[in-house]
Chains A and B, each alone.
Chain A
């Protein structure tokens, strides 16, 4: 109303003065993706902080703002489901300035899915990680479609591990210092605050980071990048949580140079598909920007996502078949009739950011960011002392443990199989046997009464902590000495101290738990000092500590990480041709610092003398280099010089086509968790640690004109000298063992195609599709060293894993082994309709060539030859085979609409249904167990334990209703 009055006043004044201006602005607002007109977009013309005029686009996206004085204006374009855009307009000589096409970037629907759909796969604690890549890229047709449609099958772009995807926040690299994993869960639930981001693909260099070979995403995260206004949304979905409430408010940049933004959310409830998985997560975000002048800008951000969520677990196919449900989750059980999950992720890791931007001229700008992450990150699990394994799907509880059709397995009791089968097939009648039996834990703990009348808990719920103190400094600059050259560069430093420990989360009806090593007791029961998790306490008090709720126990150590780096990139433009050349160099170092002296590996005392316990001098064990194996104190420091170089070439053809290519070489340090043999117990490092060498190249062609968007890419990458450490129980050693694998090489090559093309038959209807066809395979046979956890005894040292890369069968057939956990062929084809703020998408997807994660132990001669040390063709094929998942077809459907009410309020919804065909047999990941059956009749071969799988949910939906003003 106010604007109308102003407008009328202006008109009346103009008439009065009889000097009506003749200038103006016109154009067409279009969707950048698809080039379709955007109807009802709101245009506001500003001059400084003053609003001069407003308009709304017509059905064909056109607009006209007439009668403007000559001058410079800012045109602000807003439309539901699009990012707000500002363009500068100069009106000269009384002409109507034709802006032609003003393109808006659509807000990505994938962001509404919630990053938690990815965080839920984080099972690193169990030695298994299966995080997919999150694809962003509002201006990239491939990422637009694949990012949304492929998320449910744990698609990894180009087959790369998720940790290769660099994720930045306010210019600071946020990938986990210890594991390298992308840290989306740190801000999940803050979709509004973290919506603005910029991305690059593959080896492309961005302005804020040099990046690796799997793209870079930078989330701005500051106040001025949060959409102005008050917004609220309610979301419900059937695979994660029932309810998400979210609200945000942002002032935009105010006249006084300040901008404030706030975002809060809550995610609550269970879901339709996986029992025990639930959310009780909250999130808050507050940010302020102060623009002092054109040169100086300061930003502050503080946010956290405190909360908890229940986790899912993988099971064997036998279990899924018995219960008739591939979504069975063994993590939960009833307590007092209520569902309780044993595996709960509890996090509260606030992040504080201060960012300074310096823009002294149009040719130079720089920024510096300090970021501090701290808080708690816990993951609960069951722990037990000298008690039966409480996992319902423990292999001894399953029918296959009692009977197997193969007589060599020596499992012959069909009666027991029948009983077990009966229980599992009627799991609803036997919840205490087919799910965790919480009540029993209380029953057991309540009767373990000691001489003092206290009950010693046999079962507890522990909370494994990975608490980070992560301090980062990053500075970048951009210098444009001429229109033909742009120099970007930066410095970064990271100091990370992560404390790994566990604490008692719940004594489950008991009064205390005793801090001793259950595994050590099996071998050294008669030597009490060896059982001690905290030998210093034992030496002081003469007994192991009795611990209560909240007390630390088990292990406690720091992972210390230091990273320092610098990078520089030059981009040079010569007409339609441009090239960029850059490099980075860095120093990465890490070490372990044990905070507990463990009885198994006490090392030497502070003065370098042997430890004396109970009157006995403990002879230390020694590493190969002669140093003492110890659990306490600082380990050797592993340092790596890292470096990388990139070359990019780009040629623009006629304004609508672009051909570009990138090549890069990367020499990266391994991560902390890839090189310590058993960080929970000692300082020992694996031998032969070296940097990971990656060479990556891609060639791309992009077409964008007349509503047609196409991008094709061919890529080729080799990754050499990777390592990893696994810990698992080894039946052959009857001991918990560590397997250190060194020298894993792989090759990833393939093509990506993404397109969106108008049908030309039905207006506003486009055909869209993507194809990601790759071949991600292993190219080397690594070596493996196995040590026993209780003694540091080396069982196998640098033995080859000769069937890792492939298996040559006696008939000459070569069975290649592949990089697992992502479909190597993924395709999507669909229709997209977009008109008058309606959008309707329908897609059919195909996923194929997905493989199960391999266990190296099964690919050693030791396992393949069997106990009789005789190699047979049957053993070779059986033991080394890698499972390929069945291909899958999926159908997804989305619909959405938003309404602009009085050009002031916006109400909208989006509703999508995934997996319309209700296909419940799509394996999305899994892993082979390390264990083998050795108690056979023939004693001629070993048998593998069944692998464990994750499945995709059947038909599922998400409904989001939002209101903005």
Chain B
């Protein structure tokens, strides 16, 4: 009997120890076992990833871009950096307000760059003022409607609208983008009209693009721009004019909010704000949105009508409500003779915030945001909400 009990005890001990050693103990289930503080990269650490000891300025890095260095199988491509180029900059944007998406802007003393990280809610990881080191080797510098962007080589899409693509892959981010020390947020640079004009003249190579600026003394231009896609599923390509509606050249279309959430968009449509909007783009114009695609069948052709399916027999207006989604809006502001568009996303948390009546009434405003270039025009993206309690991006004088 004694032997049996000893044997049993030995077996129990054996199994228990095995459990404790290999299986049981590593399974974290309770207790204080918090990880150590996150690693903050320093310049000294970067040699592990090939950093040779000196940084290239953002301006110099942008100089590597030579438009239309097309790869064989692509119509459009940016320039893939093959040398061991490193830049460093401070984070000057965040996506907390929802106005920016999947990108951060880095700025050094020579300029700024749009870093297309391709991840959402980047403000969780990248704080304003934080230093970031970027290994540019194998990344791609390109332009989107003239705006410098740093990402990866473009996707080989049928539209080829972009010269770069989002970095997307976390392992590429981990081996190319290194988060350094926290620092005070960069103060926005007050820019003059002449500085903006000079940057526009310089096009892609303008020094201001991608930097945090305050443009002072702007007045509202009583004009907006928005591109709407009435059918939610049909392609949004440039060569699909039957699925494009431009809100431009006719004032504000009654839009008095910084942009349009889905609900606000529907509200505007139902209120008749866009009833006179014309379907089409460029030289191809069909007619207003109160008609159905089938009404334009002779212009569009039967293949297009077929593509609409049953939606060919509802009005564009009905279609817009059916496929409603949030939409961006660009409001025009004037600085002397220079137009500055303030473009806001329909997914911004301040999308449905109304423009202050004083703005609409002609008061001068100072606007702070990331300055970009779009088709030869200056454009601003607000980082914080216009009426943010702590740091408003729009100040009325």
Which chain A residues have a beta carbon within 8 Å of chain B's beta carbons? Answer: 232, 234, 236, 242-243, 245, 268-271, 276, 278, 280, 308, 310, 335-336, 338-341, 344, 386-388, 396-397, 402, 407, 410, 412-416, 419-420, 422-423, 430, 433, 438-439, 442-444, 446-448, 451, 458, 509, 521-527, 732, 734, 865, 867-870, 901, 905, 907, 934, 937, 939, 961, 963
Contact = CB atoms under 8 A, between A and B. Distances in A.
Contact of A387 (B16, B124, B127, B262): B124
Given A443-B38, A868-B307, A419 B27 contact: no
B29 A344 contact: yes
B157 A523 contact: no
B309 interface: yes
A386 B158 CA distance: 32
A234 B11 contact: yes
A336 B165 contact: no
A512 to B, nearest CB: 16
B23 A242 contact: yes
The 10 closest A-B pairs by CB, nearest first: A869-B309, A270-B23, A526-B352, A525-B349, A340-B28, A269-B19, A443-B38, A412-B156, A867-B233, A242-B19
Contacts of B156: 412-414
Contact of B24 (A270, A448, A509): A270
Nearest to B354: A526
Nearest to B33: A336
Interface stretch (B108-116, B142-150, B166-174, B327-335): B166-174
B1 A905 contact: yes
Contact of A388 (B27, B35, B121, B157): B121
B1 A901 contact: yes
A522 B351 CA distance: 11
B171 A734 contact: no
B171 A524 contact: no
B124 A509 contact: no
A869 B310 contact: yes
Nearest to A942: B233
A442 B34 contact: yes
B121 to A, nearest CB: 5
Given A387-B121, A430-B171, A937-B158, A734 B325 contact: yes
Nearest to B169: A419
A954 B347 CA distance: 48
Contacts of B353: 526
B28 A335 contact: yes
A242 B24 contact: yes
A151 to B, nearest CB: 23
Contacts of A458: 121, 124
Contacts of A524: 261, 263
Contacts of A341: 27, 29
Given A446-B37, A869-B309, A433 B347 contact: no
A386 B306 CA distance: 40
Contact of A278 (B24, B33, B98): B24
Interface string B336-356: 000000000001111111000
A413 B29 CA distance: 40
Using C-beta atoms within 8 Å of the partner chain, give the interface range for chain B. Answer: 35 or more
Nearest to A244: B15
B52 interface: no
A243 B234 CA distance: 58
A436 to B, nearest CB: 11
A870 B309 contact: yes
8 contacts: A234-B15, A270-B27, A387-B121, A388-B119, A412-B157, A446-B37, A523-B263, A526-B264
A386 B35 contact: no
A447 B172 contact: no
A261 B63 CA distance: 84
B235 interface: yes
B153 interface: yes
B8 interface: yes
A446 B172 CA distance: 24
B140 to A, nearest CB: 10
B180 to A, nearest CB: 13
B152 interface: yes
Given A397-B170, A442-B34, A509-B34, A308 B29 contact: yes
A276 B348 CA distance: 39
Contacts of A870: 306, 309
B120 A388 contact: yes
A267 B9 CA distance: 17
Nearest to A734: B325
A143 B179 CA distance: 62
Nearest to A904: B1
A22 B27 CA distance: 67
Given A243-B16, A901-B4, A937-B158, A271 B124 contact: no
A867 B234 CA distance: 7
Nearest to B235: A939
A934 B310 CA distance: 18
Contact of B28 (A245, A269, A339): A339
A521 B127 CA distance: 22
Contacts of B124: 386-388, 444, 448, 458
Contacts of A961: 8, 11
Given A439-B35, A522-B347, A939-B234, A410 B158 contact: yes
Nearest to A444: B124
Contact of B153 (A340, A415, A443, A963): A415
B18 interface: yes
B26 interface: yes
A417 to B, nearest CB: 9
Nearest to B153: A415
Contacts of B27: 269-270, 276, 278, 280, 310, 338-341
A16 B225 CA distance: 122
B390 A939 contact: no
B12 interface: yes
A268 B12 contact: no
B110 to A, nearest CB: 28
Contacts of A308: 29
Contact of B233 (A413, A527, A901, A939): A939
Nearest to B326: A523
B249 interface: no
A86 to B, nearest CB: 28
A174 to B, nearest CB: 28
A523 B352 CA distance: 11
A909 B262 CA distance: 67
B155 interface: yes
A396 B24 CA distance: 33
B15 A236 contact: yes
Contacts of B22: 270
B125 interface: yes
B152 A415 contact: yes
A386 B121 contact: yes
A442 B8 contact: no
A438 B8 contact: no
Given A340-B28, A868-B306, A523 B262 contact: yes
A338 B33 contact: yes
A934 B171 CA distance: 27
B19 A243 contact: yes
B351 A939 contact: no
A280 B30 CA distance: 11
A419 B171 contact: yes
Given A268-B24, A413-B156, A433-B170, A868 B29 contact: no
Contacts of B16: 243
Contact of B8 (A419, A443, A963): A963
Contacts of A415: 152-153
Contacts of A439: 35, 38
A884 B94 CA distance: 48
Nearest to A869: B309
A234 B307 CA distance: 68
B38 A446 contact: yes
Contact of B15 (A243, A527, A963): A243
The CB with the most chain A CB atoms within 10 A, among B8, B119, B353, is that of B8
A524 B124 CA distance: 21
